[in-house]
Amino acid sequence: MERAIAAARVLLGATFLVFGANYFLGFIPFPEPAPRVAELQGLLRDLRMYPVFKLAEVLAGALLVLGRAVPFALLLLAPIVVNIVLFHAFLEPRGWPLGALVTALELLLAWAYWPSFRPLFARGAARASRVAGSAGPRFYAELAAWWPLFSAPADYAEEAAFHERLLVGACEPPAQTLLELGSGGGNNASYLKARFRTTLVDRSPGMLEVSRGLNPECEHVLGDMRSVRLGREFDCVFVHDAISYLTTEEDLRSALETAWVHCRPGGAALFAPDHVRETFGPSTGHGGHDGDGRALRYLEWSWDPDPGDGTFVADYAFLLREPDGSTRVEGDRHVQGLFPRGLWLRLLADVGFDAKSVPFEHSELEPGKYEVFVARRPR
C-alpha cells in the first residue's frame, strides 16, 4: 500500500507540475476552447488570476514529487481540483478523464495523510490551539535559561543509551534519522545526535534556545507535538517526558498521530511518560547544579490530589542564586497526565502502531517503577 501511495503522490504531483509549467512555457498545444470557455478564460486573464493558479500548481506539484510538505500541497490543490471537477461538469466535458484522475488521486492521498488533517475537524481543535499557544509551566518560559542548572546533560548518558538501544532494536534498518518531539533543553539529543541525524521540535522558544547552545548541529523547529507537521518521515521518532504534559485522551491521541505521520514504514517510535496510572505513587526529590556564577537548588513534590481524574501534580520550589550572590525563591506547579497502560496501548494501536510496554532500566531507579512504550509502524 505504501508503494501505491507513493506512486499516487508522484503521479498527481507530476500532472500539476507539467500542466502548471505549460502555462508559462507553452510546450503542450491545446485545441480551441468552446466560446463560453474562451469567455471565462479571457475574464481570468483580465483579472490576472491565471499566473496565481498556475504558480500554485507548480509549487504543489513540485512538493508532491519531492515528497516534501505533502499535506500542505494537498490543501493547496484542493480548491483547484474542485474547480477542475466543476469546469468539466458544467462547461467543457472534454478532458473529464484527466479531471476524474486527479480527483481520485487527491482523495486517495487525503485518506493516506488523514492524521495530518484530522485536527482541523476535531471538536476540541479550538481549545487545543489555545492551549498550544500558552506558555505552560514557568520553568519552560521565563525561567528556561536556568534549565541546565536544574537538569544537567551529564545526567542523561545512561538514559539516552537505553532509549537508543530500544529505538535501533525496534527499527528496520537503516536507523539514521531521528525526530524528537518535545525535545526541551536537548539533553537526550546531546547523546542521540552521535547516532542519528537529529531534528528537535519543542513549543517553548526559551527551551529551544537552550538546546541550540548545546546542540548547534541539530535542526530545531518551534512546534507543538499535537499538531506540528514537517512534511517528511524519519527512521525513528522519540518523545520523552514532555508527553506527560498532555492531560486529555484527545491530546495524547493527537501526539501519537503526529509521531505516526513522521515515522516511516518499518520505523520505530518510543514514548517515555513520567508515569502510568498502575505504577504511580507520591514522591519527593531534590537536586540542582552550580554554573558559571549562577546556581540552582530545588525541591520537588509529586502527588495526586484527585485519584479519580487523569492527572497528577508536581510542585517545585526553586532557590536561584545570581552571580552577585543574591538569591530568590520561585514556585512552579506542573499538572501532568496520568493514563493507564491499557489506554496507551489502545491509542497506539488505533493510530496504526504495533506497540508494547517495556520496563525502564536505570541503575539509579527501582526496577519496575517506570516504563516506556516502544512502537513500530508496519509496512
Distance, CA of 10 to chain centre: 23
The domain defined by 130-277+337-376 carries CATH number 3.40.50.150: yes
Q: Evaluate whether 180 touches 192 at the Cβ level (below 8 Å).
A: yes
**Distance between CA 256 and CA 38 in Å, rounded?**
50
Closest CA to 377 of 240, 263, 228: 263
Task: Classify burial at 173, counting beta carbons within 10 Å of its beta carbon; exposed 0-12, middle 13-18, buried 19 or more.
Answer: exposed
Question: pLDDT under 70 in the chain at which residues?
Answer: 1-2, 36-37, 40-41, 43-47, 50, 115-116, 118-136
Beta-carbon contacts of 339 under 8 Å, excluding residues fewer than 6 positions away, are: 249, 252, 273, 276, 277, 310
Tens digits of per-residue pLDDT, 136-163? Answer: 699 999 999 999 999 999 999 999 999 9
Closest CA to 2 of 293, 243, 324, 263: 263
pTM: 0.69
Domain segments of the chain as ranges:
2-112, 130-277+337-376
C-alpha cell of residue 120: 482541523
pLDDT of residue 117: 74
Task: Classify burial at 75, counting beta carbons within 10 Å of its beta carbon; exposed 0-12, middle 13-18, buried 19 or more.
Answer: middle
SS3 242: helix
